[in-house]
Structure 1
């Protein structure tokens, strides 16, 4: 069960949330191990090297090898968590995740940090608009996009109890609170955050906050929206989606990702497969590479602020 946060301010850094969650599960399960690709300072996983020196491995700047080591650890009964920036956790190691991970039925838990505009000054080489699209193509992989620290903490702890390949993306820094402490969720089930009658907004990750603000601004104009946090992008909660598509004038998807292959595509596939005649507006990044800038600048540059989203919806929402 979940409750929405009363305090909508920026919460604890998600990298610290991940570290603290891993410390907890390492106490509970001596088989949990952590691997990092020479980003321990950026990820704060150096804290795990201090708290659990015998269960932390820095593989160096060798991400494909990290996946291979994690697969080997899985084969010997360990529960590996690996971290690097989003593009290196997916695009760079796709074949290893496919073959050594999913195809071989190993357990590998992947934290891909700083997706989309969160890459900031690291620029286009470190920007991933395509991580979800890539991993959606691999059978049986679970993909989550954490909305805030409460959800990230829950995801890490639940991943530690699951078999298979699991991916969670999230900003290293703090993001605005969506959920109250103690909230719990269910893998493969979306969360209906508010009910409305005119349009359905489906969002995931850091932009859930903006999706709620968009709904609030539209309500001021007399337009009522359902808002769903589809934090598990694969497997998608088709039942919830289909239920709340009924009677809607249109559907809006919101993601810090390409409009190709991500949440918007997943929702479009459900609509098409079920023969539903409803307009769909996908808000994301269309056919562009990343660039250098502050995260705030990039969020606006790529049209992912509340104001920019409302501009994009001007001709769609009536």
Structure 2
């Protein structure tokens, strides 16, 4: 994703002179370092000072700029939570916050850099929109829409190793969940990194004659409960798959919405189960936290049996 990150922000900053990109000593890690060469007045680095980065962005927004702040997910959502809450959302500032390497994709940076709770934190802040792309093709389509959205947004962004989910052209609606594959037996609602894993799980299930419907729930707040509810009313059961604690994230958002719609179906959850992260590569972490395609497929069979 790093080359796409640089390419798309270069294009955006050429087209919109109000866009400002703010790093917190991670420009090389993000692939945004070269933005400084072309936009020395609008590609800035505040150093290891994430709270300052958010305050700086809030101030720029007050003067009509469109600032983006990028840093590792825990440094943004944990360390600068108060600044995001008061200086951005309470003050109604148009600031876009990009948290990279969410959940287990932090890999060998380990537990301190592995944010399992960021969606829960951001979901609880009034007016905050939360978006997580499934792949580079989707991020390309989303960025112009995000830039035109005049309010605060949190973008949960996988920095490396993003798998392709989309083939060919496709429609993108920021506030509408995407039906990637239609099915009749079980709904698998996934976000971010886990969308590609859900697709692999669907292939495994197909070999056993099980037809899974795959939803890419790229916007977690506000959740598109209408599309998800329509799917589970058809299939009769649900598996959620997220690269996050199953407390406070995608699963919680969906079930909270279902409770208001009086939608009650058997549900299984794939994700981190109230646990801190640790050092490891993705295959090890996926196995440890039971987030592999095989685990999704097993959860699907389990939830089908409950119907």
Q: Number of matched residues?
A: 305
Q: Does 1:303 align with 2:277?
A: no
Deviation at 1:307, TM superposition (A): 1.9
Q: Which runs of structure 2 are paired with 1:1-318 in the superposition (5 Å)? A: 14-180=1-167, 182-318=169-305
Write the distance in 2 (CA, Å) between the matches of 1:183 and 1:69: 36
SS class of match (1:317): helix
1:113, 1:222 → 2: CA distance?
Answer: 37
CA contact (8 A) 2:239 2:303 kept: no
Q: TM-score, normalised by structure 1?
A: 0.92
Secondary structure of the residue aligned to 2:226 is helix
Residue 248 to residue 308, structure 1, CA distance change in 2 (3 Å): closer
How many Å apart are 1:182 and its aligned residue? 4.7
CA distance in structure 2 between the aligned counterparts of 1:19 and 1:82, rounded to whole angstroms: 14
State how far apart, in whole Å, the 1-side matches of 2:141 and 2:125 are. 24
Deviation of 1:29 after TM superposition, in Å, equals 0.7
Cα deviation for residue 176 of structure 1 reads: 1.3
| 8 Å Cα contact 2:202/2:297 also seen in 1 | no
Distance 1:181 1:80, change over 3 A: farther
Taking the aligned partners of 2:52 and 2:20, their CA distance within structure 1 comes to 16
How far apart, CA to CA, are the structure 2 residues paired with 1:181 and 1:37? 35
Deviation at residue 156 of structure 1 after TM alignment: 2.3
**Would the aligned equivalents of 1:115 and 1:171 in 2 still touch at CA under 8 Å?**
yes
Q: Contact 1:32/1:81 (CA < 8 Å) preserved in 2?
A: yes
In the alignment, structure 2 segments of 5+ residues that lack a partner are none
Give, in angstroms, the shift of residue 120 of structure 1. 0.9
- Separation of aligned partners in 1, 2:120 and 2:276: 15
RMSD: 1.4
Asked whether the 8 Å contact 1:257–1:284 carries over to 2, the reply is: yes
Instruction: Report the Cα distance in structure 2 between the residues aligned to 1:283 and 1:26, rounded to whole angstroms.
Output: 38
SS of equivalent residue, structure 2 residue 155? strand
Cα deviation per residue 1:112-156 (whole Å; 9 max; x = unaligned)? 100111101110000011111111111111111110001112222
Once structures 1 and 2 are overlaid, which stretch shifts more, 38-47 or 267-276?
A: 267-276
Instruction: Answer whether contact 1:37 1:61 (CA < 8 A) is retained.
Output: yes
Deviation at 1:314, TM superposition (A): 4.8
Asked whether the 8 Å contact 1:248–1:278 carries over to 2, the reply is no
- Counterpart-to-counterpart distance in 2, 1:279 and 1:244: 13
Q: Is the 8 A contact 2:186 2:300 kept in 1?
A: no
User: In the aligned structure 2, how far is the partner of 1:197 from the partner of 1:310?
Assistant: 15
- How far did residue 111 of structure 1 move? 1.2
Whole-angstrom distance in 2 between the partners of 1:243 and 1:313: 18
Secondary structure at 1:269 match in 2: helix
